[in-house]
Each structure stands twice: as C-alpha cells, then as structure tokens.
C-alpha cells in the first residue's frame, strides 16, 4: 500500500465513523453495512502497512520585482525560473550515476522530472513533486531526492564560507553547476529572490545583492575546477562514505577525497592498497581555500604489479 492509498482509507474510515454515529437505531441494514465496511478498512490498514516512500517534494517561492504580493507572478519570469531550477535538479540527479558529458541531452531526463502540483502562497511560488512511474521502497532514496538536497546545499554554500562552498561544489558535476548558475542568473536578471524549502530545511536569499554575490562566487574566476593526475598509492577507502586517502609518491602529503560515481564499487580499491597507481581527479577550489578532490576514473595501476 502506498501513502496515498492509506490516506484515502483513513479518510473513508473517518467518514464512516461519523456516519455510523448519526444513524438512527431503526436503520439496522445501513448500520450493518457500514460496520462491515469499517471492519474491512481496519483489517486492511493493519495488514498492509505503507511500503512506499513518499515522493520528494520541494517548495519554491519567489519575491522581488516580478512578484505581485501573494496574488501572482509575471509569467515570463515564473516559467524561466521554474524551468532553470528543474533543469539544475535533473542535471544533478543524472550526474549521481555517471559524470555528465559537456554537451548533448541530459541522460535519463524523463526519469528526473518534477511536477508542479500546487501554488505556494505567501511569497508567490510553486510546490513541486518528483514524477515517479513505479514505487520506491521505504529503504530507497531516489536520485531526485538526493539532487534536491544537493542543490539546496549548493545554494546554501554560496552564502557561506569558502570551505562550505567548496564542499558542496565538489559534490556537483561541472555541467550541473552551470545549470545552477543559469538559475541564479535568471533571478539576478529579473531582480528576484527565492526560498527553497525541502523537507525540514529552508534556504532563502535576503536580497538581490546576495543573489548576485552568490552568482559571482560560483563564477569560474572564484570557483575553479579542473582535472588532474596524481601518482601515489591508496592508503585506505571507506566504501560506505565513498572517501579515500591517497599518498603522493615521493612526498609525505596524503590527499583526501571522494570516490566519484564512475567507480561503482568503492570497496574494490581496498584490495590494492599501497600499490603504485595513477589516478585522475577533479580538483575543486574556491578562492584560496583548500582544494577538494573527487576520483573520476578507475585508477591506472602500475604494470609491474
């Protein structure tokens, strides 16, 4: 039973309980029928617990020049802003399984769509929900849910310290970063701000100046990314956390980083600890802060080993 089915049963049970309380004693046949249906609902609720995770939902609201109080929002801005936000989420979701190509369609775009399910009042905006064809078990987390969390973290990082921004940016594919820049550029162009409410966390820009500053901090002059080869040997890998330590050859320095999605089973690296290898990493650095490393390809092991 999914959550929606359960909610329908609970609503029907409440209706029948209220109806039963109002039935006169003379309505014996109606009472018997109502009590029978109530028992059937109670049995189903007891025997069929919810086995499906709720779809991921996000509340995206706007304020500023394009927003007319809680009455409405200029359609041109609304369409561009929602589209650029959903494109960013789809790109982040797609990058969780493999690095994105620099150009071309986003892989599996149709599997990472968001639905507009309602308008959000207050500051005008929208309630969005992930579109799912099949069910998702309670122990599963969908790529869209992960992407919404990472996108919110990245936006939060743009108003935080260099280290906070570097941590969130290192988790974001370069092409997905470009999509987030487009979203921020849309806000800046229309002199708007936004609030992103996901689960029990909320992020909000305070003014347009902060939006422009966030856009600048995501700019390539401040946030630098590039591929680099490192020679050395793995000291250890945490497969669940997908982190690694790599000692550079001829140096005491140990590089710590994350294992990217291109390596499906991070634990396999533990079988070749302290063996000479060349690894390809994506290096992310914000300002003069500490660089972050993400392993983006399988290591090249020394032929002698």
- Pick from 184, 43, 194, 224: which is nearest to 125 by CA? 194
Amino acid 290: pLDDT:
92
Q: How much is the pLDDT for 229?
A: 96
Please answer whether residues 296 and 281 qualify as being in contact, where contact means their C-beta atoms are separated by less than 8 angstroms.
Answer: yes
pLDDT reported for residue 134: 62
Question: CA 62 to CA 54: how far, in whole Å?
Answer: 25
Q: Which band of pLDDT confidence, cut at 50, 70 and 90, is reported for residue 24?
A: confident
- For the chain, helix (H) and strand (E) counts, in that order, are 7, 13
* CB 150, CB 170: distance < 8 Å: no
Please answer whether residues 58 and 196 qualify as being in contact, where contact means their C-beta atoms are separated by less than 8 angstroms: yes
Nearest to 94 by CA among 168, 152, 197, 175: 175
Is the model's pLDDT at 27 over the cut of 90?
no
Q: What's the CATH architecture for 224-301?
A: Beta Barrel (2.40)
What is the structure's pLDDT at 137?
59
Q: Domain residue spans in the chain?
A: 3-47, 57-219, 224-301
Quote the pTM value: 0.77
Q: What is the pLDDT of residue 132?
A: 77
pLDDT band at 94 (very low <50, low <70, confident <90, very high): very high
- The answer to whether 151 and 180 are in contact (CB under 8 A) is yes
With a cut of 90, say whether residue 203 has pLDDT above it: yes
Q: pLDDT confidence of 139, banded at 50, 70, 90?
A: low
């Amino acid at each position: 039973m999914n959550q929606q089915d359960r909610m329908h049963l609970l609503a029907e049970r409440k209706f029948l309980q209220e109806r039963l309380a109002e039935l006169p004693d003379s309505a014996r046949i109606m009472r018997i029928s109502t009590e029978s249906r109530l028992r059937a609902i109670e049995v189903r609720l007891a025997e069929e617990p919810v086995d499906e995770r709720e779809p991921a939902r996000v509340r995206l609201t706007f304020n500023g020049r394009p927003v007319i109080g809680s009455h409405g929002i200029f359609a041109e801005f609304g369409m561009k802003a929602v589209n650029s936000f959903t494109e960013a989420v789809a790109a982040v979701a797609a990058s969780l399984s493999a690095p994105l190509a620099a150009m071309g369609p986003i892989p599996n775009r149709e599997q990472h769509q968001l639905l507009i399910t309602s308008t959000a009042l207050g500051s005008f905006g929208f309630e969005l929900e992930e579109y799912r064809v099949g069910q998702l078990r309670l122990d599963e987390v969908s790529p869209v849910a992960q992407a919404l969390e990472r996108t919110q973290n990245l936006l939060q990082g743009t108003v935080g310290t260099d280290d906070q921004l570097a941590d969130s940016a290192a988790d974001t594919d370069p092409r997905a970063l470009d999509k987030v820049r487009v979203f921020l550029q849309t806000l800046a162009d229309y002199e708007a701000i936004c609030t992103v409410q996901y689960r029990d966390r909320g992020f909000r820009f305070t003014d347009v100046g902060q939006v422009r500053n966030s856009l600048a901090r995501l700019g390539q002059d401040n946030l630098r990314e590039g591929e680099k080869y490192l020679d050395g040997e793995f000291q250890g890998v945490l497969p669940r956390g997908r982190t690694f330590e790599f000692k550079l050859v001829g140096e005491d320095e140990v590089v710590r980083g994350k294992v990217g999605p291109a390596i499906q089973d991070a634990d396999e690296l533990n079988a070749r600890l302290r063996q000479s290898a060349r690894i390809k990493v994506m290096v992310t650095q914000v300002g003069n802060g500490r660089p972050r490393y993400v392993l983006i390809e399988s290591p090249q092991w020394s032929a002698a080993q």
